[in-house]
Structure 1
Amino acid sequence: MPVYGNLSLVQDALTRVVAHTEIPWRMVLVDDASPDTETVLFLRNWASRHGAHLIENERNLGFVSSANLGLEQAMLWPDPVVLLNSDAFLPEAWAPRLLRPLLEDPRIASVTPLSNDAELGSVPSPGLAALVTFDEAQALDRFAQNLNGRAQVVAPTSVGFCMAMSRTALELEPSFDPAFTPGYGEEVDWCQRLRARGFSHVYVPDLYVAHLGGQSFGQTQKHILIRRNSALLAKRYPRFDVEVCMFLRRDPLVTARLAVGIARAELQRNGAVPIYLGHSMGGGADIDLQRRLATDVARVGAGLVIRVGGNYRFTIELHHSQADGTLCVTSAGTEDWDLVERLLAPVSRRELVYSCAVGDIDPVVLPELFLSLKGPEDRLTVLVHDYFALSPNMTLLEENEQWQGLPEPTHASSRHVARRPNGRAVPLVEWRNAWRPLVDRAERVICFSSAAKMLFAEVYKDARIEVCPHNLHVAVPALTRPAPGAHPVLGILGNLAPHKGAAVAERLARACRNSGCEVVLLGEIDPAYRLPLPARKHGAYGVGDLSRLAARYGITCWLIPSLWPETFSFTTHEALATGLPIMVFDLGGQAEAVRAAEARGAPVALLPLGLAEDPQAILTRARHLSHWGFARETLRAPAASGVRA
């Protein structure tokens, strides 16, 4: 153990060596000319009491040279060597777990445990230090002992804060290269030299050792040394960085990181830990989920998500913050729900939140699975981002994206029938019976519009439903209205899937050539549809850029062409925030928002659904609304044929 000051840390580290090492051991201490006399006096006394060998450097040589002096002394004995930093704190019964791989495989050169700060072995995020107390570290190691220690992971390098080194490897490469003096990167170089000789380096998931990190040099000097020595490593081993990136990309330690990270979240939580069931499709539901998670991390310390519909059936995400406040995510996937339950087992107080489960291969069983995580004291919330709990068709639309009202179980169309992986049909009555326990047991069912509440309550009459509209994720500046008589330009807003009105946009694009009204899409459109010229498509946009883009294209009126009864409609609210006139079809949360804006005097139009097939009528209304919205102070428009204004 090289030592340079930091007496209190050294005392704690050595106390744990004595208390927690149950096999015969020897200690070589190297005092690297500590700046205080108390440290060397303590080391002399401790070495005398415990039969340790103490080397006292007359001047400061740095970590590398001090470690080499210690290794040289250790090689006088025939045993493996553990290089231990003075800021590493060994847990109970650490030695058998760290040394076992060396004793079982002569081609393993080094072994490293998991830690809060151990580069590739860091938990919960590789390469990032995490805050942990001594007591928490001891508890995390007790948890890690239950992991599969034989699932050791071969990695490009070990980490020298707590590194077991085989006698055979040390006989071939007995020291670190002084070129890395005073420290950082020396163990990487040593590991690469041994890899070239056919040895490997492993991490063990069943041992967790706390590491304060950077105590030898301080953070500023540490970063300087890392930059300098990293350049030297890159020159010697050009593929090393690529190998590290490949290791992290597949991350064979991720399950252990996640498991210990969840246990850490339980130890550090400031309340019930939120556990969300979410999908992998992005969109408004996921934006809302990310916002909730950021609040959860700040409030509780962590948040968990079980995602469906991704590369694995279940992907478990741990959202947490690093020491500097940076938000991070550790995630791992599995097909096995039992593993999900085992990973979440350490969390004793839970707040279950259903967000969205669209995209799962067998969603009819998800309510029962999610409810299995609920303890007697845990709370459950259901967020109504769509109508998946009412029908496997989350939009409730019929063929050709037609809205015909809430489907009745006794005569529902095939669009409201799910199929299980074995091909068995799940009729709508069975679907709703599967989802009813989740809804009925929820303390809160949150709808984001009164329109969504009305539909939801028609099926789940006993549900505890409340309406809590979203706030916009990003502020949208209001536009300065163009001068009266400006050329009308209809802006279609949003990413358009079939249920979002892709066919409406395509018809408008074809009809706008000689209409006297241009059409611009801000967003993307389903590949099955196209917008022929002269219509223009901007593509993806940021909400914060909305007003700037509207001014750039000269947009004078918005259309939100969505054909399903949206539960909220962020795009409608974003368009309203610009202050430009807006048209929507008369259904769902989009119509509710426009009615509220109309009551405040905004220039709006509610279009009958029948106009979805009549692009000329929509373009005519856009021209009228554009001119009226800008030319008049009185915001009550004359009704056009077939249109409610």
Structure 2
Amino acid sequence: MSDLYWTIDSLVVKDNVLFGFGWIFHARHEIASLRFRVTSAEKDAPEYIYADFGKPREDVGRTHLNHIRALNSGYVVFGALSDEKYPDAIVLECALADGSVIDLSVPPSKIIRFSDDYTKVKNRIVLRQAGTLFKRGLYLIRSGKISSFFDKVKRYLNGRPQTALQKPEELASLFEPLEGENLSVILDHNLGGGANQYRDRLVEAIIREGRSAIILTYHVTTLSHMVIVRNKRLNVRYSIPNITFLWRALQQLSVSDIIYNTAVSFVKPDEIPQFLIQLKTLTSARLIVLAHDFYLVCPSHFLLDHEGKYCQIPEISVCNNCLPKNRYGFATLFTERDISKWRAIWGSLLAVADEIVTFSNSTAQLLMKAYPQIESSQISIRPHQVAYLADKITRVKQTASLRIGVVGQIGFHKGAVFIQQLSHEIKRREINVNIVVIGSIEVNCEPSIVSQTGAYRYDQLASLIDASGANVMLFPSIWPETFSYVEQELMCMDLPVASFNVGAPAERIATYSKGLVLASMDAASVLDELILFHSRIYLAH
């Protein structure tokens, strides 16, 4: 027990939903599994919500310099319980690689429970989370990463609600004459990444047309629905109690189009299709469904099964066995865990959509596999426009030995465990091959093989790749991504790029002159392929 170091920075419980984050590591053993065990006197058996662990915590790494596992000690937990009974006890259950399990009781003082006084509770959450942000920010300042500190602060402040709307009619009162006409209502998550980039450009186009956009999203850290109102005059964020509140508010406004971007991270996601269908019926607005991920198909929106492998959308009987056990993506937020009901609910949305948009042929094919009733003529395939990307061709300086570059925040679905396995294979062979992550990786890797730069801004990417010495880029995502801006950026830089044979990335890599579609996901085989790829690109002439 004395070898285990841990803390909870924030743990919030609202209705049947739990969200929290902190850090944990063991001095001698890797963590194999981390989950919160929730018990209630009214239930015979406990419920479990798994945490996503291994996230970078530079501040913890700096504090515990003698412990290599401290650097990737961060965790996040977010999930739903089967009902809204407040738990009697919460225990953090930590399973180690040696097979032992350690129970850590969560003190009641660490838990923030929502009450009727929402403002008081929200302020308490914000203060606690801001305190953690400040402590982590001190590390960045001391390390000279002042711009990164300000970027984090800006993202935090820009992400949270500024205040709350008390009555539905207050939304309409925000608009001046004509601003409330021909509104676009967009439903989207607030987690960052490519889907949010797409939404931002969409909103900018709406504003250029002189119109207004209302974005319904979900603010995970305060467990609250939020509306963002944007036009040439307004850029404001309000928390609202639920989507029914917005439904009543929109009855007083003129809506011309409804855009589903993604509902990932929303609590009670099964309510969303009916909300959008009712809004379309009320307003006669055009409904556009965008497929940025596979939430339309499964609550495990990366199509990872309960073993963490790409499922390829199997027979329903396989899904019925998998979904109740699945802890990937945001699967626990759909408490019924019934794939037939999920497909019926989201299928009804697809049935009334005026347009279904995918960003690759691969995504369209998978969508039609899940919903055979969809005709290919109903789907518009529109690859993302990337003309805004700076045309920065990098110059590879070191070509004699293979140096593998990986770009992004590499979590489980992005291939973190595979990179860890690949580093083990390189070490086993004792060959002169290294891996550099331009960004961060959410597992502990052999430091003599794998290095990482930490978070970066887009305008730094080309120079960081130059400085890293990477000469073959690997895109290790294990799910069928619907596009991938990162891969497109690497291709625009004229770099050699390899990816697994899944999703839109493989579709584009197959036609790229410096591309390699890998034949397997086995680390040893991939290493062999990358060595040959490097030789063909640089040493064959």
Q: TM-score, normalization: structure 1?
A: 0.53
* Paired amino acid for 2:348: P
Corresponding position: 1:455 with 2:370: no
Residue 501 of structure 1 corresponds to 415
Identity %: 21
Higher helix share: 1
Q: Counterparts of 1:475-624 in structure 2 under 5 Å? A: 475-482=390-397, 485-513=399-427, 514-526=430-442, 528-530=443-445, 532-597=447-512, 602-611=513-522, 614=523, 616-624=524-532
Q: Measure the CA separation in 2 of the matches of 1:540 and 1:519.
A: 16
Relative to 1, partners in 2 of residues 1:265 and 1:608: Cα closer, same or farther, differing over 3 Å?
A: farther
Q: Which residue among 241, 247, 255 is the counterpart of 1:349?
A: 255
- Asked if 1:408 is matched to 2:319, the reply is no
Q: Is the 8 A contact 1:564 1:588 kept in 2?
A: yes
Residue aligned with 1:566, SS: coil
Question: Aligned pair 1:628/2:540, yes or no?
Answer: no
Shift in Å, 1:364: 1.4
Q: CA deviation at 1:476?
A: 4.3
Q: Tell me the amino acid that sits aligned with residue 496 of structure 1.
A: I
Please report how far the alpha carbon of residue 407 of structure 1 lies from its aligned counterpart in structure 2 after TM superposition: 2.8
- Aligned pair in 2 of structure 1 residues 608, 263: CA closer, same or farther (>3 Å)? farther
CA spacing shift, 1:275–1:480, aligned 2, 3 Å: same
Shift of 1:300: 3.5
Partner of 1:314: 225
Are 1:434 and 2:349 counterparts? no
- Greater Cα radius of gyration, structure 1 or 2: 1
Give matches, 1:22-37, under 5 Å.
Answer: none
Per-residue displacement from partner, 1:108-154 (whole Å, max 9, x unpaired)?
Answer: xxxxxxxxxxxxxxxxxxxxxxxxxxxxxxxxxxxxxxxxxxxxx9x
Give the letter for the 1:462 counterpart. I
**Residue identity in the other structure for 2:436:** V
- Contact residue 358 and residue 364 of structure 2 kept, 8 A: yes
Pairwise CA distance, 1:499: 1.3
Residue 210 (structure 2) pairs with residue 296 (structure 1): no
RMSD: 3.0
Alignment of 1:251-330 (within 5 A): 254-255=164-165, 262-263=172-173, 265=175, 267-269=177-179, 272-308=182-218, 310=220, 311-322=222-233, 329-330=235-236
**Structural mapping, 1:61-460, within 5 Å:** 254-255=164-165, 262-263=172-173, 265=175, 267-269=177-179, 272-308=182-218, 310=220, 311-322=222-233, 329-374=235-280, 375=282, 377-417=284-324, 425-460=336-371
1:490–1:557: 8 Å Cα contact kept in structure 2? yes
| Alpha-carbon separation, structure 2, partners of 1:259 and 1:533 | 60
Query: Counterpart of 1:319 in structure 2: which amino acid?
Result: R
Any conservation in 2 of the 1:558–1:582 contact (CA below 8 Å)?
yes
Inter-partner Cα distance in structure 2 for 1:543 and 1:251: 27
Change beyond 3 A, Cα 1:284–1:257: farther
Would the alpha carbon gap of residues 617 and 424 (structure 1) be closer, same or farther in structure 2, given more than 3 Å must change?
closer
Other-structure match for 1:195: none
1:583-633 per-position Cα deviation (integer Å, ceiling 9, x unaligned): 100011110010121xxxx1221113342xx2x432333232223223457
Deviations 1:475-513 (A, max 9, x none): 241123446x43321001221121110101112233334
Aligned-partner Cα distance in 2 for 1:441–1:542: 40
Q: CA deviation at 1:298?
A: 1.4
Supply the distance in 1 between the matched residues of 2:211 and 2:175 (Cα, whole angstroms): 7
* Aligned 8 A contact 1:276 1:355 in 2: yes
Q: TM-score, normalised by structure 2?
A: 0.63
SS at match of 2:295: coil
CA distance in 2: counterparts of 1:257 and 1:320, whole angstroms:
21
Q: 1:315 to 1:422 in 2, by over 3 A?
A: closer
SS in 2 for 1:301: coil
Q: Distance in 2 between matches of 1:553 and 1:421?
A: 39
Deviation at 1:270, TM superposition (A): 9.0
Q: Which has the higher contact order (CA 8 A, sep 6+)?
A: 2
Rate the CA distance shift 1:549–1:420 in 2: closer, same or farther, 3 A: closer
CA distance in 1, matches of 2:283, 2:252: 16
- Alignment CA distance shift 1:258-1:486 (3 Å): farther
Whole-angstrom distance in 2 between the partners of 1:480 and 1:258: 56
Q: Which amino acid aligns with 2:453?
A: H
Q: Does the Cα contact within 8 Å between 1:517 and 1:619 map onto a contact in 2?
A: no
1:352 aligned counterpart, secondary structure: strand
Equivalent residues of 1:398, 1:413 under 8 A apart: no
| Aligned length, in residue pairs | 372
Q: Which has the higher strand share?
A: 2
> Relative to 1, partners in 2 of residues 1:393 and 1:256: Cα closer, same or farther, differing over 3 Å?
closer
> How far apart, in 2, do the equivalents of 1:269 and 1:595 lie?
46
